[in-house]
Amino acid sequence: MRQACLLAKACTSANWAVVTGGEAGVDWHAAKTAFEAGGRSIIALGAGIFAHGRQYHDFYKSIATSGYGCVISAVPTSVPPRSDNQITGDLLSTGLAKALSIVEASETSGALIAARAMEITWRRPIYAFPGPIDSPWSRGTNQLLYQRRATPIISIEQFISDLNQYRLPIKSSHKPHIAAVQSTAPEPRH
């Protein structure tokens, strides 16, 4: 959680929106940290907006009404979280992101689905925090790093510097190519 919050604060300071799937854990903390730091949070759900608990709904409402973020879903509002709609949420969130950063992932983590979407569909960079080799929660991230499918995040400064080099739109493998549209969002709340 600490690493996710550090990354979210750094992205907010760099004036980037934090895009997450809004799930409990790392996603939730990153989005909340960015929002509370005065940045933009975008939550792209693989479930319906009203399918999560009350604490999530209140937070989603705060983001949506603030003018500094949004909550979107590709499924109807009452569809519950299920493994078969997780791919839809991962495609949605990765499609909105400039890059993917993975804090920790087991060998069966949904973050690895997002990494695959980023590699194959969007062809955008993937970053991962190296983790302890004896932790089951680091096996997925360490495997991505070992296979050179992800760049290790060795410092927040390095991550920010790397991302400053990338410019969107980055071509996707989808045809026809859809160009990114820059919105006229309000200035950050600093």
The CATH number of the domain holding residue 135 is 3.40.50.450
- What separation in angstroms does the CA of 95 have from each of 45, 70, 173? 12, 15, 11
Amino acid at the residue 19: V
Residue 135, domain extent: 2-164
| Closest to 188 in 3D by CA, of 50, 46, 67, 57 | 67
For residue 139, being part of any structural domain is answered with yes
Please, which residues bridge with residue 36 across strands?
none
State if pTM tops 0.85: no
- pLDDT 10s digits, 73-110: 888 888 888 877 778 888 899 999 989 999 999 999 98
| Residue burial 67-94, b: 16+ Cβ < 10 Å; e: rest | ebbbbebebeeebebeeebbebbbbbbb
Cβ atoms 69, 17 nearer than 8 A: yes
* Distance (Å, whole) CA 149 – CA 125: 9
What digits encode the pLDDT tens for the residues 117-163?
999 999 999 999 999 999 999 999 999 999 999 999 999 999 999 98
Does the residue 170 lie in any domain? no
Does residue 147 fall inside a structural domain?
Answer: yes
Does pLDDT of 168 surpass 70?
A: no
Helices marked H in the chain = 2-13, 26-36, 54-66, 86-96, 110-117, 139-146, 156-164
The answer to whether residue 185 is domain-embedded is no
In a domain, 188, yes or no: no
In a domain, 169, yes or no: no
Q: Is residue 159 part of a domain?
A: yes
Strands of the sheet with 69-73, listed across from one edge: 18-20, 41-45, 69-73
Domain assignment present for residue 172? The answer is no
Domain count, the chain: 1
